[in-house]
Amino acid sequence: MNRKLQVWLIFVGVFLAGAVAGGVISVRIAKKHVLQKVSDQLMNRRLLDRLDLTPEQKAKSEQIYGPLGKRMAESRREFAAEQQRAEQSLRAILNPEQLKRYEEYRANHREREQRLQEYRKKLDEARKNPGQPAPPAKP
């Protein structure tokens, strides 16, 4: 193969790999931002639950937080679509060994996320029922 063509292909490959990596990193940063907002919303919901609001106050709080919830749901859908596109692009450039390692990483990540969700659920239940023992330390 022509030497100039090889250099050009390497250059394009590095550029594409950088673009995909940048996209993946951007998605991760966006995910943290979205999750922080969701966390804030849940924290607000928990706070409102602890305040023993009157029916009138609950109705007003729904007017305050209702539109936020709708916007957050739309943001989550948009983020999921972007994340899926970035993941497909990344998979397209990986060789079989890299793809295998990536699949293992994703499986481990999903497992950690599942354990974290279970822990958070137990923690919420313990907060709602003060007589129950607290869950063990974070997984």
Residue 37 near residue 100 (C-beta atoms within 8 A)? no
User: Phi-psi category of 40—alpha, beta or left, where left has phi over 0 and alpha has psi -120 to 50?
Assistant: alpha
Q: Give the pLDDT confidence score for residue 122 in this predicted structure.
A: 82
> What would the mean pLDDT of 1-27 be, rounded to a whole number?
70
Q: Is residue 97 predicted with pLDDT exceeding 90?
A: yes
Q: Is residue 40 predicted with pLDDT exceeding 60?
A: no
Q: Give the pLDDT confidence score for residue 16 in this predicted structure.
A: 67
Whole-prediction pTM:
0.45
Tens-digit pLDDT profile for residues 43-93: 566 677 777 778 888 788 778 777 777 787 788 888 888 988 998 898 899
Residue 120 near residue 126 (C-beta atoms within 8 A)? no
Q: Give the pLDDT confidence score for residue 2 in this predicted structure.
A: 77
Q: Give the pLDDT confidence score for residue 30 in this predicted structure.
A: 61
Q: What is the mean pLDDT of the chain?
A: 77
Task: Report the Cα 10 to chain-centroid distance in Å.
Answer: 33
